[in-house]
Structure 1
Amino acid sequence: MFYADYHVHSSFSTDSNAEMEDLIKTAITLGLKQIAFTDHIDYDYPDPAFPFMIDYDHYIKVFDALKEKYKDQIEVVLGVEIGFQPHVAKQIEEILSQYPFDFVICSTHVCDRLDLYNGDFFKDKDQKNAYLRYFECVLYNVKNFFNYDVYGHIDYINRYGNYKNKSLSYEDYKEVIDSILKTIIESGKGIEINTSGFRYGLGYAHPQLAILKRYKELGGKIITIGSDAHSSKDLASHFDEAYKLIKAAGFSEITLFKNRKPYFIKL
């Protein structure tokens, strides 16, 4: 039995058409105890087709009504996924202070103001330099922004780019990845296992097992599991693999959040 999906996008995210209530119903059918909605806020996203902005006054009304409606069947958690860029840090701090989030994912969707998803970031970069620059952006972000709970899909850079072989070896980027993980741990934050890598045909979750093991070796404790679902069919997808991964990395607990405070559930 899987306990919770801690990375879910509803139709309040520009890139999802899944209604929040439909996702909740699916989560109940799957036997989940919790579902965390982590809809996107990506200020100054470089693609105007994806504004990634939310009317949170309306959002909270819808969320609260559904949380109450299904309270006897599932716990609905108020989360958010922040697409961090250094120049919008003040805006992010402001929105996080205005609403009672339980859980905040910080992710790097844009590096040097260039979009990873549409490929702009990869132009005029070979594979190794592109991946390295992405990790350097993540390292800068974790060293300069601290108002989050877990960092999202840390090694997902190889989802994108038109390279023939999209493999990403921890050993090739060990120094910068270790610096990222150490900074996250020292800041009292965590990471997630994001199962979307399986859906993108990579054959593994984000991060890959070698990085998960290194996180544990360095003293990492906080770890959530999320599908990054943008539709009901992907809710809790590949969680069987995720639970195997987390155990293989040496973890015996998963992390949940309430009022931005972590607590732990035995596997």
Structure 2
Amino acid sequence: MIKSDFHVHTSFSTDSDTPAREQIEALINKGITEICITDHHDIGYTAIEKADVNTSESTNTNIESRPFRINPFAYYEAILGLIPEYSDRARISIGVELGLRTDYHHSIEDFAEVCAWDFIIGSTHVVNGLDPYYPQYWEGKSKQQGIMEYYEATLANIRKLDCFDVYGHIDYIVRYAPNQRENYSILDYKDIIDEILKLLIQNGKGIECNTAGFKYGLGVPNPENYVLKRYHELGGEILTIGSDGHKPEHTAYAFDKVPAILESCGIRYYTVFHDRKPIMLPL
């Protein structure tokens, strides 16, 4: 059984309303004993709220925008204060999910140093100023163009920034692509995926097996099995497991599927981080 969830969001994240205590309690009740809270900090990102983000409705109508950032000191102290309360039931670690962008690289690198984080996920959420979550990202481009632009931005982020431990949901783009995995094959992007994985390995970085892909109806984790296997084949060893859960019911989501997936990829260990240092655990 997987005993760690290293991608968990709470009400410190703009897109979650769940207090950290509720997330921790839910995870402990599911048998998770290593928990890392990793709330969002995306410098330069704005969450756009409207009636239906799944339509092509213009973003000039009925919009309320909110920054996607946390106060690192308030956040750190709040999670730190919970650690003693649960010390007899689980190890609580303090992490952050940093939205990586080359145009804000100095500010992002500075943020990574402001607190003694246990773990940092680096993720690509924005490409050319837009999150693929919003339909506006896809306007005027083919599905293939939109996906390739995302992977190109991911590669550029890895080349520019070194302030993270694991790259998050490498194929995040598929969650929000038109019709998701329909008419999509990871093999169409295998060359750039190899570039991404080789650079991560060269830089001593890991990837994650993010089970939210099952929640979003993809039928696979993010990234999908091919990428997990390829990372291992290329010599990658650091792999965390995270639910990307924003609600209690989504924590440790589909973790029962993970051991068989990883074993089929030749992976026998997964990773947790303490004080930014990787620790390998057997499946």
Place the TM-score, normalised by the shorter chain, in its bin. Answer: over 0.9
Query: In the alignment, residue 21 of structure 1 is paired with which amino acid?
Result: R
Are the equivalent residues in 1 in contact too, given 2:5–2:32 (CA < 8 A)? yes
- Residue 262 of structure 1 corresponds to 278
- Residue 10 of structure 1 corresponds to 10
- Residue 155 of structure 1 corresponds to 171
C-alpha RMSD over aligned residues? 1.3
Are the equivalent residues in 1 in contact too, given 2:209–2:223 (CA < 8 A)? yes
- Residue 177 of structure 1 corresponds to 193
Gaps of 5+ in 1: none
- Residue 188 of structure 1 corresponds to 204
- Residue 83 of structure 1 corresponds to 99
Q: How much identity, in percent, do the aligned residues show?
A: 40
- Other structure's SS at 1:39 match: strand
14 and 245 in structure 1: CA distance in 2 versus 1, 3 angstrom threshold: same
Query: In the alignment, residue 44 of structure 1 is paired with which amino acid?
Result: G
Aligned length: 267
Cα deviation code 1:27-54 (max 9, x no counterpart): 1111111111010000111445241121
How much has 1:147 moved relative to structure 2?
1.1
- Residue 33 of structure 1 corresponds to 33
- Give me the TM-score of the superposition, normalised by structure 1: 0.96
Q: Relative to structure 2, which stretch is displaced further, 181-190 or 84-93?
A: 84-93
- Other structure's SS at 2:113 match: helix
CA distance in 1, matches of 2:168, 2:132: 14
Are the equivalent residues in 2 in contact too, given 1:81–1:106 (CA < 8 A)? yes
CA distance in 2, matches of 1:99, 1:265: 26
Are the equivalent residues in 2 in contact too, given 1:15–1:50 (CA < 8 A)? no
- Residue 21 of structure 2 corresponds to 21
- Residue 43 of structure 2 corresponds to 43
CA distance in 1, matches of 2:180, 2:35: 36
How much has 1:91 moved relative to structure 2?
1.2
- Other structure's SS at 1:114 match: coil
Query: In the alignment, residue 269 of structure 2 is paired with which amino acid?
Result: E
Query: In the alignment, residue 13 of structure 2 is paired with which amino acid?
Result: S
Cα deviation code 1:205-243 (max 9, x no counterpart): 011111111111100100000000000001101111122
1:210 equivalent to 2:226? Answer yes
- Other structure's SS at 2:184 match: coil
- Residue 54 of structure 2 corresponds to none
- Residue 198 of structure 1 corresponds to 214
How much has 1:163 moved relative to structure 2?
4.1
Cα deviation code 1:227-263 (max 9, x no counterpart): 0000000110111112221111111110110111111
- Residue 52 of structure 2 corresponds to none
Query: In the alignment, residue 63 of structure 1 is paired with which amino acid?
Result: I
How much has 1:56 moved relative to structure 2?
2.1
Cα deviation code 1:156-205 (max 9, x no counterpart): 21111334754532210011000000000000000000011111111110
Q: 1:111 pairs with 127, 133, 154, which one?
A: 127
